[in-house]
Amino acid sequence: MNVGTAKRSKEELMEAMRKPELINGSEILLRSLVLEGVECVFGYPGGSVLYIYDAMHGFSDFNHLLTRHEQGAIHAADGYARSTGNVGVCIATSGPGATNLVTGIATAFMDSVPLVVITGNVATTAIGTDAFQEADITGITMPITKHSYLVRDVNDLPRIIHEAFFIANTGRKGPVLIDIPKDVSAQTAMFHPASEVNIRGYNPTVHPNKLQVEKLIKAIEEAEQPLIIAGGGVVYSNASKELLEFINKTQIPVTTTLLGLGGFPSAHELWVGMPGMHGTYTANQAIQNADLLISIGSRFDDRVTMKLDGFAPKAKKIAHIDIDPAEIGKNVKTDIPVVGDIRSVLEYANTKAKPAKSEKWIERLQESKRNFPLKYKDSDTVLKPQYVIEMINETTKGEAIVTTDVGQHQMWVAQYYKFQHPRSWISSGGLGTMGFGFPSAIGAQMGNPDKLVVSINGDGGMQMCSQELAICAINNIPVKIVVINNQVLGMVRQWQEIIYDNRYSHIDLAGSPDFVKLAEAYGVKGLRATNKEEAQKAWQEALDTPGPVLIDFVVAKHENVFPMVTQGSTISEMLMGEDD
């Protein structure tokens, strides 16, 4: 089959894809992906998926991006999914190809990102024999997938693929794995596309119990110091517009979690910042003084709550809106549980919503924002990382899609970049995966070719994924790659300084490569800045360059992220700066 040699209209394409025909499992897979609306696949071939890659020869009905590592492929698929709202797809071979995906699968699982992960396996006759490059990938990933399939009959493929996309992108979203033995990908069958999904026992609650929503509305009307914690669920359910309407109607201040950034515009007067370990003073004090706390799509993660004994002590009632009933009451006792899709919940709530008695509360929090802003000690001689983030924010006007790796730079971006739109912030939250930032930006750029995508990385995380620079060069993917280079594992150093009494252990990254030369070796323009003037010039040059650019910002080595709440402390106990 060579169905992709000529460009067709979408209607013609779909009609051709649905045509019953005797084809092999690999061709069934490709047709099914097109019918699911897949536009881009990230992958890396190997022996067990060679029939699939053979079927891709001349196939142009979706784009395949060959990464340089399987982990790069799945992080790119993740970035594509988070930035577009569509299911991300990646392919890898059996054995090490499949196991190289594990960290990326766990990353997506922890952050509820919809992925369909396709792996090859040895032939069905060899399964269980410890054959060359055999690995029980369905068993290995069972705790970190929403569901998984081991395909043993080619006739099941259309149904399995259709189910996988449905499961990945409904309810609490997450990764689904499809493991296809090599002989199954070669077997032939009459292709009949799946059109219905009927999975016994899987029926996520979308529409809420209206009585529970009305209880919440009544509690809001009685509250004088209410607060909303908005999490990633707001973004994933495409409920940002409904949340804005809800807050405007109820006049409730809102704090957005790390994954919730962009789900509510940071320019809004009722936004009080990010909560938790590196949250703002106002957000944390608002939680501690609220009489009604409402979690919307946030799972009360430990980096938000910190020490649970002492979290939100003045809250007379705690409400929790989530599509996953297992999250409600798991970490924090809940008085008003509301199970359902957040968009659906807020749509109904907005028909009943009335203002809280929150005028004095709002004035108090706005005064706190003025008195306790985020701050750092700027310098005219040493480049500060916070300055770099502020510069990027000002020049992009908060309109770029920004991805980060994990560490100090991640927290500085969360603090100093002012996100205005959902799906403009992409970062590994639950798993905290180093190496995620740059590949996820490639996926985001593939999904949003007309938008500016900025990937902000530490010098540690950048070295875990730098091989993907080749992909940007070869395909002219115009990601702007920022390296916040402090020659050290910054967040580990900060903990060792503050918590471990300056006992620095194995954090020195002074032997890292010259990132400018590294970029140039791959064919990507490289720039460096060591002070404010150089930073402004290099960043403007990067913005003016149509293709990919890497900018190495050499920043102060001993800069810390503040505010900070140390583990074992409540969010009332904040370290505010160097002199604290």
Tally the C-alpha atoms within 13 A of residue 473's C-alpha that lie toward its C-beta. Answer: 16
The number of residues making up the chain comes to: 580
pLDDT of 2 over the 80 cut: no
Residues 444 and 552 in one domain: yes
Work out the pLDDT band at 113, boundaries 50, 70, 90: very high
Active site residue 182: yes
Check 56, 274, 491, 564 and give the catalytic one: 491
Check 1, 21, 39, 133 and give the catalytic one: 133
Active site residue 410: no
Residues 184 and 257 in one domain: no
pLDDT for residue 557: 94
**Is 572 part of a structural domain of the chain?**
no
Active site residue 464: no
Q: For residue 340, give its domain range.
A: 210-371
Check 12, 15, 19, 132 and give the catalytic one: 132
pLDDT for residue 1: 34
**Is 376 part of a structural domain of the chain?**
no
**Is 380 part of a structural domain of the chain?**
no
**pLDDT higher for 65 or 198?**
65
The whole-model pTM stands at: 0.96
Work out the pLDDT band at 19, boundaries 50, 70, 90: confident
pLDDT for residue 12: 82
Question: Which of these ranges, 114-118, 193-197, 428-432, 518-522, has the smallest mean pLDDT?
Answer: 193-197
Residues 450 and 323 in one domain: no
Average pLDDT, integer, range 187-204: 93
Work out the pLDDT band at 13, boundaries 50, 70, 90: confident
Check 27, 36, 70, 134 and give the catalytic one: 70
pLDDT of 579 over the 80 cut: no
Chain segment 138-187, per-residue pLDDT in tens: 999 999 999 999 999 999 999 999 999 999 999 999 999 999 999 999 99
Share of the chain above pLDDT 70, in %: 98
Q: What is the 3-state secondary structure (H, E, C) of 57-112?
A: CCCCCCEEEECCCHHHHHHHHHHHHHHHCCCEEEEECCCHHHHCCHHHHHHHHHCC
pLDDT for residue 551: 98
Taking a C-beta distance cutoff of 8 angstroms, is the pair 240, 264 a contact? yes
Structure-token pair, residue 537: 């010039």
Taking a C-beta distance cutoff of 8 angstroms, is the pair 403, 79 a contact? yes
d(CA 16, CA 67): 29
Give strand ranges (E) for 95-174.
Answer: 115-121, 147-150
Work out the pLDDT band at 556, boundaries 50, 70, 90: very high
pLDDT of 126 over the 60 cut: yes
pLDDT for residue 220: 98
Q: What is the 3-state secondary structure (H, E, C) of 479-544?
A: CEEEEEECCECHHHHHHHHHCCCCCCCCCECCCCCCHHHHHHHHCCEEEEECCHHHHHHHHHHHHH
Domain boundary among 371, 405, 426: 371
**Is 573 part of a structural domain of the chain?**
no
**Is 378 part of a structural domain of the chain?**
no
Average pLDDT, integer, range 131-142: 97
Active site residue 264: no
pLDDT for residue 93: 98
Residues 136 and 282 in one domain: no
Work out the pLDDT band at 5, boundaries 50, 70, 90: very low
Residues 415 and 549 in one domain: yes
Residues 492 and 434 in one domain: yes
Average pLDDT, integer, range 419-426: 97
Work out the pLDDT band at 3, boundaries 50, 70, 90: very low
Work out the pLDDT band at 195, boundaries 50, 70, 90: confident
Active site residue 132: yes
Chain segment 285-320, per-residue pLDDT in tens: 999 999 999 999 999 999 999 999 999 999 999 999
Check 173, 182, 369, 384 and give the catalytic one: 182
pLDDT for residue 7: 61
Residues 402 and 484 in one domain: yes
**Is 73 part of a structural domain of the chain?**
yes
pLDDT, the chain, mean:
96
How many structural domains compose the chain? Answer: 3
pLDDT of 253 over the 70 cut: yes
Strands 336-339 and 401-404: unpaired
d(CA 537, CA 539): 6
Taking a C-beta distance cutoff of 8 angstroms, is the pair 487, 437 a contact? no
